[in-house]
Amino acid sequence: MTSYKELGLVNTRDMFAKAVKGGYAIPAYNFNNMEQLQAIIMACVETKSPVILQVSRGARDYANINLLRNMARGATEYAHELGYDIPIVLHLDHGNSFEVCKECIDNGFSSVMIDGSALPYDENVAVTKKVVEYAHQFDVTVEGELGVLAGIEDEVQSAVSHYTKPEDVIDFVSKTGVDSLAISIGTSHGANKFTPEQCKRNADGILIPPPLRFDILAEIEKQLPGFPIVLHGSSSVPQEFVKMINEHGGKLKDSVGIPEDQLRQASKSAVCKINIDSDGRLAMTGTIRRVLDEKPGEFDPRKYLGPAREALKQMYMHKNIDVLGSAGKA
Ligand code: G3H
Ligand code: 13P
Ligand code: ZN
């Protein structure tokens, strides 16, 4: 058993309390490899932002849990070396069983998500409560989820029954004891969130997707005043990187993400954690494609992973400063 405290990590409790009070959101960036982790830490130290390092089940399979734990330890030491000890959380993203959550808690994670959102309500309550009872013995914090995010193929506009039902949230939180709650108000996972046909054009010709359901968020906040709320599926799908990928041999579909001003608005509410993965994938892939296309003779991975890391760092800094408002809060 490794406690996250030995790794220099923190849980989400204080971080979320401050974020809710201060009207900003903590960035939760997914990582699977060293360059992504370096970019996240460099960006968050430079902007003095707290950060949540997210590990999905896929990342666990890809990178190995022992390596990931030690990378998180390295991240705390790296931040220190860069000159600023930002609070860092190591979080399991979309844990799907008690066993997976327990394994992560036993391996130094300071926060876990148990995603029972696809289960019948009572089963979601039961498994979430079981994870909370185990996690809290070690001061690890737990995120639960109510409502189902639209998948890539779903018609977001018509998926009304997937939205979180505000009338359920008090019951769920009090029965399970979760520390934060992920909700569904119109975001969705992946790079293909909205097709151009689902959007309207503004005066500048920019495609604007259907707005998030801020009315549902407001109702949830009324039911649970000050309780930490989490938004998944919050990539904005930067068009510059979609273009870069397609101009250098890629073939991505036209797609629109969550507009930054809507995320900015959400960050000012009880939304205190915003999950971003796809935008990092787009920035990294676009940059690697561009470099390899422009320099076909290049075969040193550092020559394309280095620029990709720099593009990621710039993007994360922009999000911390201009979108989430977490810059300067560490
Ligand atoms: O919410 C899901 C994350 O984007 C992680 O995706 O399971 O492919 O690592 P992944
Ligand atoms: P995106 O696919 O919008 O980046 O969402 C990531 C996420 O929710 C991770 O849990
Ligand atoms: Zn998610």
Condensed to tens digits (0 to 9), the pLDDT of residues 195-210 reads 999 999 999 999 999 9
Q: Which of 10-19, 80-89, 189-198 has the lowest mean pLDDT?
A: 189-198
Q: How confident is the model at residue 151 (pLDDT cuts 50, 70, 90)?
A: low
* Closest ligand to the CA of 29: 2
Q: Which fold has domain 4-324?
A: TIM Barrel (3.20.20)
Nearest residue (by CA) to ligand 2, atom 1, is 233
Nearest residue (by CA) to ligand 1, atom 6, is 56
Q: How confident is the model at residue 53 (pLDDT cuts 50, 70, 90)?
A: very high
φ, ψ of residue 85 to 5 degrees: the values are -85, 85
Question: Within 13 Å of residue 3, how many CA atoms lie on the same side as its CB?
Answer: 7
For the chain, the structural domain boundaries read: 4-324
With CA atoms as reference, report the closest residue to 216 among 179, 167, 172, 281: 167
Q: Is residue 114 within 8 Å of 127, Cβ to Cβ?
A: yes
Look at residue 162 in the predicted model and tell me its pLDDT.
85
Over residues 108-112, the mean pLDDT reads 98
277 lines ligand 2 (CB under 6 A): yes
308 lines ligand 1 (CB under 6 A): no
Which residues, other chains included, contact 107 with Cβ-Cβ below 8 Å and sequence gap of 6+?
2, 65, 66, 69
